[in-house]
Structure 1
Amino acid sequence: MQDAKALVAILRGIQPHEASEHVGALIEEGFRYIEIPLNSPEWMKSIPEMVVKYGEKAVIGAGTVLKVEQVDFLAEAGAKLVVTPNTNPAVIRRAVDAGMLVCAGCATVTEAFSALDAGAQWLKIFPSAAFGPAYIAALKAVLPPEIPVLAVGGVTPENLGEYLKAGCAGAGLGSDLYRAGQGVEVTRAQARRFMAAFVSFSPSP
């Protein structure tokens, strides 16, 4: 399961006891990529549990992956997605060798090509809000056109279309989708707003 265009839900700070309800709601609203960052409480419990419960319906994995040892744990747990905040060739290679989808964080052309050389299949431009859509469009001009680029950091339902217009295949959605402690209905409502903006976007001919 690997789409050319996608939204990745980032559930930073989610607790194991509430993860199932939120992940279930996101899947119901059309999300197929779910990321639980490794600076969330008890991620070693929540991620394997979500893989078991929802692994047939969505690509479940982790964000803020920094170490090879973390990749090994995730692979053993059956996670299929690794999202990094940086470009660490050793982490990327280990995850790719384990058959996982890697979305590597980068900000420059040099970092982007280093990630691709290590085997990353997707790139995320972070923090996108600091660079803006015009920067990403310029970056896309020198990257292989078949490589999906996601905007991450500061993406909202209101500006998602601008990043898609700049050539992004999608986005990673953090605090504008989920904030630690919020109710599941808030998550569902935000998921609907993002999905509506995503589905309704059509590039100019």
Structure 2
Amino acid sequence: MTGETRRVALPQRTVDSRLIVVARARRAEDYDSVLDVLIAAGVRSVELTLTTPGTFEHLPGLITRFGDALDLGVGTVTNADDLARAVDAGAGYLVTPITSTALVAQATSAGVPIVPGGLTTTELFASWSAGAAAVKVFPAGQVGPSYLKDLRGPFPDLVAVPSGGVDLAGAEAWLRAGAVAVSVGGPLLGDAFAGGDLGALRERAAAFVDVCTRRSL
């Protein structure tokens, strides 16, 4: 007889907000001013990507400055060394675009929630059954919200976060379909990391926050 799968849940603040903003900057120093605006707009969870140089080194300072208002996760984690560095730097959760039960086991052993990516039923079920906090349906734009409804047939307990191509209308549709949260990048951030209007960023972020915090969805 086997016991229940060990699973480390996503931070409650992230679950309550139902929105993860994926911040892919040119350099880690650019995070600060954007995070200030996102927090002011009501965003409570941000995934910092390892495609941004300096993320590991900058993360502890960001946690000190923003940690009371924001869950800070680390994304684009694809190997054991980067996962260990993210944990050591204080990541509140981990995100990977790939299906790797080894990474799920490593994160769970470290006590940090992980959201692995996948698209097929085999990939998503492998991550979920290994103990993922949630599964990242990626790239979500290739399937659409009805895909999650179909997945709920064989996998009624699956906790899913769609990512990739989720715009404002898509966020509402995915949440209605049962997603625990939506992962949003370009449609919300726009040109914010390229010197864009931060006032416009705040308006876009506030619109996403408004949709994602509607309990009628």
TM over 0.5: yes
Q: Structure 2 unaligned runs (5+)?
A: 1-10
The CA distance in 2 between the partners of 1:64 and 1:88, in whole Å, is 13
The CA distance in 1 between the partners of 2:39 and 2:26, in whole Å, is 16
Q: Look up the equivalent residue of 1:186 and give its one-letter code.
A: A
The CA distance in 2 between the partners of 1:46 and 1:15, in whole Å, is 10
Report how many aligned residue pairs link the two structures: 202
- Cα gap change, 1:184 to 1:144, in 2 (>3 Å): same
**Does 1:97 pair with 2:101?**
no
The CA deviation at 1:55 is: 2.2
The CA deviation at 1:14 is: 4.6
The CA deviation at 1:201 is: 5.9
Q: Look up the equivalent residue of 1:165 and give its one-letter code.
A: R
Q: Is contact 1:47-1:61 (8 Å) kept?
A: no
Give TM-score scaled by structure 1 length: 0.89
The CA distance in 1 between the partners of 2:73 and 2:81, in whole Å, is 15
Aligned residue in 2 for 1:197: 211
Structure 2 counterpart SS, 1:159: helix
Deviation sequence 1:92-151 (CA, Å, 0-9, x none): 211121121211111112111211232211111111111011112101222242x43111
Aligned residue in 1 for 2:39: 27
The CA deviation at 1:30 is: 2.1
1:112-127 equivalences under 5 Å are 112-127=124-139
Aligned residue in 2 for 1:148: 159
Moved >4 Å (runs of 4+):
none
Deviation sequence 1:29-70 (CA, Å, 0-9, x none): 222211011111322233232122222322212111101101
The CA deviation at 1:15 is: 2.5
Deviation sequence 1:171-193 (CA, Å, 0-9, x none): 00011112431343232121111
The CA distance in 2 between the partners of 1:188 and 1:46, in whole Å, is 23
The CA distance in 1 between the partners of 2:180 and 2:212, in whole Å, is 10
Structure 1 counterpart SS, 2:187: coil
- Counterpart of 2:88 (choices 72, 76, 79) is 76
Q: Look up the equivalent residue of 2:57 and give its one-letter code.
A: K
Q: Is contact 1:51-1:77 (8 Å) kept?
A: no
Q: Percent identity?
A: 27
Structure 1 counterpart SS, 2:105: helix
Give TM-score scaled by structure 2 length: 0.85
- Cα gap change, 1:120 to 1:155, in 2 (>3 Å): same
RMSD: 1.8
Q: Structure 1 unaligned runs (5+)?
A: none
Q: Is contact 1:161-1:201 (8 Å) kept?
A: no
Deviation sequence 1:1-22 (CA, Å, 0-9, x none): 3254521010012532221121
Q: Is contact 1:34-1:61 (8 Å) kept?
A: yes
Q: Is contact 1:81-1:100 (8 Å) kept?
A: yes
- Counterpart of 1:7 (choices 5, 12, 19) is 19
Aligned residue in 2 for 1:85: 97
